[in-house]
Amino acid sequence: MPLVLREKKKLAILFILVFFHLILISLQIPLGEEKNFLEKTVFFIFSPVQHGMTVFFKTIGNVWNNYFYLTEVQKANKQMKEEIFLLRHENNQLRKALEELKNNNSIQEYISAIHDSFLIAQVIGIDSRNVYRSIIINKGSLDGLKKNMIVLDKKGNLIGRIISPISLKEAKAQLITDNDSGVGVITQQSRAIGVLTGDGKGNCDLNFIYVTEKVNEGEELLTSGLDHIFSSGIEVGKIISVADDVSLFKKIKVKPNFDFRDLDMIVVIPGYLGDF
């Protein structure tokens, strides 16, 4: 084939591929938040590979731990036993406190509803484009995972929510630090209600707090439940800076409570259960 024709053929293939991508991108506009078939398929095919890699390296890590670090394990075990004892104690105290507030039946229903669908999952992957946007976990639709379930860290701080695509044994969770996320929150002391969005760089912005409202640095944020996605009362983060803006609202920066370095295990709980 002459060189000119060969070059033209190559360019034609490039244009076909570029056109294919442009079609793919434009197809997402009518779909909104819903993922297209190709994205779901790619996720469905490759997420087990990621799962497998994590299991493989975890197994190697376990062998190492079991044979060479038994003493460390023993120490950690002792520490965990103490922690469980404290948590049980705290749990009992909280149950007693709850009983004083509500009648027993509704408490038992509420607690068992949460307990039955409590799911511990492992983080097997992070967002390939921006680590502050999403994570991949090793639980999927077979484990009962559904869209909008709430993701918490080990200490019960809010991390984000489950979003699609959800494959059989893997799922994607959107972090609260993602700039497309939105969480209804309330400040603990001043009781100001706002919407928290991620800044895509590891922190969050608290929006829609009027300049006339009084909020202070260091104040804790809790979920308000007003978004009907996140149940109320979950710890979210702490205000790190407050500044007045030329607009109606304050510019408030929030540091999330969860630690990115500590995201190996997470807890998934059901989404909004109504006001308790």
Partner 1 sequence: MRNFIEFSLGIIIAFSLYSIIGKISFSLSQLLNFFTLIVLYFAMTRGEIYGAFMGTICGLIQDAFSLGVFGINGLTKTIIGFLAGYVSQKLNVIPLRRNFLFIFVMISAEIALSSFLYYFISAEYVNEITPIVLFQPLSTAVIGSLIFLFLRKARIFSTQK
- Residues lying near partner 1 in the complex (CB under 8 A) are found at 10, 13-14, 17-18, 20-22, 24-25, 28, 35-36, 38-39, 42-43, 46, 49-50, 53-54, 57, 124-134, 136, 163, 165, 172, 174, 178-180, 199-202, 260-261
Q: How many residues in total does the chain contain?
A: 276
Residue nearer to partner 1 on the CB measure, 28 or 241? 28
Residue nearer to partner 1 on the CB measure, 40 or 238? 40
Residue nearer to partner 1 on the CB measure, 58 or 238? 58
Min dist CB 258 to partner 1, Å, is 13
Min dist CB 59 to partner 1, Å, is 13
Measured in degrees and rounded to the nearest 5, phi and psi for residue 38 equal: -65, -45
Return the H-helix or E-strand segment holding 13.
helix 3-31
Parallel, antiparallel, or unpaired for β 193-198 and 183-187? antiparallel
Residue nearer to partner 1 on the CB measure, 35 or 193? 35
Min dist CB 91 to partner 1, Å, is 32
Q: Is 46 exposed, middle or buried (CB count within 10 Å of its CB: 0-12, 13-18, 19+)?
A: middle
Min dist CB 229 to partner 1, Å, is 16
Question: Residues near 228 by Cβ (< 8 Å), separated by ≥ 6?
Answer: 272
- Contact, 194 vs 208, CB < 8 A? yes
Residue nearer to partner 1 on the CB measure, 24 or 248? 24
Q: Which two tokens stand for residue 262?
A: 């500590």
Distance, CA of 45 to CA of 26 (rounded, Å): 23
Min dist CB 50 to partner 1, Å, is 5
